[in-house]
Amino acid sequence: MEKKPNINVGGLGFSWELEEGRFLFENEDAVLFWISSAMKSFFDTIEEVSGEEAANLVMESTGFRQGSVVGEYFQRKEVGIDQVAEILPNTYASAGWGKARIENVNKEKLTLEVKLANDWEHKINKAQGKEKRGSFLPAHYAGIFTGLFGRSIWYEVQYSQLEGHDCTLIEYFPAEVDIEHNIHDLARRKEAEQIVYLEGLVEDKTRDLKELVKTLSSPIIPVLEGIVVVPLLGRYDEERADELITKTLTNLPEHKATYLVLDLTGLDNDLTNYTASLIEKMGTAASLIGTKVIIVGISAELGRIISQTEIDLSKFECFQNLQHGIHYALAQNGRRIV
97-117 pLDDT, tens per residue?
A: 889 999 999 999 999 999 999
User: SS3 for 200?
Assistant: helix
Burial (CB < 10 A; 0-12, 13-18, 19+), residue 291, is buried
Residues 313, 196, single domain; the answer is no
Among 103-112, 170-179, 222-231, 301-310, the least confident range: 301-310
Confidence of residue 2 (pLDDT cuts 50, 70, 90): low
Q: How far apart are CA 61 and CA 41, in angstroms?
A: 19
Indicate whether 1 pLDDT > 50. no
Do 262 and 143 lie in one domain? The reply is no
Q: What is the CATH number of the domain that holds 240?
A: 3.30.750.24
My answer on whether 77 and 211 are in the same domain is no
Do 95 and 133 belong to one domain?
A: yes
- pLDDT the model gives residue 117: 94
Distances (CA, A) of 118 to 97, 141, 156, 306, 317: 8, 16, 19, 86, 92
Averaged pLDDT for residues 37-46: 81
Residues 204 and 304 in one domain: no
104 occurs within a structural domain: yes
pLDDT value at residue 136: 92
Counting Cα atoms < 13 Å in the Cβ hemisphere of 269 gives 6
| Higher local confidence (pLDDT), 177 or 91 | 91
Share above pLDDT 70 across residues of the chain, in percent, rounded to a whole number: 87
Query: Would residue 283 count as lying in a domain?
Result: yes
pLDDT 10s digits, 125-147: 998 888 889 999 999 999 999 99
Whether 338 is covered by a domain: the verdict is: no
Question: What is the average per-residue pLDDT within 234-252?
Answer: 83
Contacting residues for 88 by C-beta, under 8 A, at least 6 apart: 100, 102, 144
Select the highest-mean-pLDDT range: 67-76, 88-97, 242-251. 67-76
Question: What is the mean predicted confidence (pLDDT) over 302-313?
Answer: 79
- Mean pLDDT lowest among 10-24, 65-79, 252-266: 10-24
In the prediction, which pLDDT does 99 show?
A: 92
Of residues 25 and 324, more confidence is placed in: 324
* pLDDT for the residue numbered 112: 96
Q: Which pLDDT belongs to residue 19? A: 78
> pLDDT, tens digit, for every residue of 244-293?
888 888 888 888 889 999 998 887 666 777 777 788 888 888 888 889 99
> Containing domain of residue 59, as a range?
33-177
pLDDT averaged over every residue in the chain? 83
Residues 39 and 155 occupy one common structural domain: yes
Can you tell me the distance from the alpha carbon of 93 to that of 34, in angstroms, rounded to the nearest whole number?
Answer: 15
Q: Is residue 11 domain-resident?
A: no
Lowest mean pLDDT among 164-168, 246-250, 288-292, 332-336: 332-336
Q: Which pLDDT does position 243 carry in this prediction?
A: 83
Name the band, by pLDDT with cuts 50, 70 and 90, for residue 3: low
- Which residues on adjacent β-strands are paired with residue 318? 295
Residue 191: predicted pLDDT:
60
What pTM did the predictor assign? 0.54
In the Cβ-directed half-sphere of 105, how many Cα atoms lie within 13 Å? 13
CA distance 97 to 90: 10
Residue 309 within any structural domain of the chain: yes
- The answer for residues whose C-beta is within 8 angstroms of residue 37's C-beta and 6 or more apart is 127
State the pLDDT confidence band at 213, using cuts at 50, 70 and 90: low
Q: Tell me, what's the pLDDT at 239?
A: 79
Q: With pLDDT > 90 as the criterion, what percentage of the chain qualifies?
A: 27
Using DSSP, state whether 296 is helix, strand or coil: strand
Q: What's the total number of domains in the chain?
A: 3
pLDDT at residue 218, as a whole number: 67
Q: In what order do the strands lie in the sheet with 111-117?
A: 99-106, 111-117, 168-174, 153-159
Q: How many residues would you count in the chain?
A: 338
**Are residues 137 and 251 both part of a single domain?**
no
Specify the pLDDT at position 186: 55
How far is CA 229 from each of CA 53, 226, 282, rounded to the nearest angstrom?
A: 59, 10, 12
In a domain, 7, yes or no: no
Do residues 229 and 213 both lie within one domain?
A: no
pLDDT class of 33 with cuts at 50, 70, 90: low
Alpha helix stretches (DSSP H) within the chain? 36-50, 52-76, 81-94, 120-128, 136-149, 179-217, 238-251, 273-288, 300-307, 322-332
Return d(Cα 70, Cα 82) in angstroms, integer.
15
Q: Are 16 and 32 in contact (CB under 8 A)?
A: no
Count CB-CB contacts under 10 A for residue 187.
Answer: 12
Q: Which 3-state string (H, E, C) describes 28-87?
A: EEECCCCCHHHHHHHHHHHHHHHCHHHHHHHHHHHHHHHHHHHHHHHHHCCCCHHHHHHH
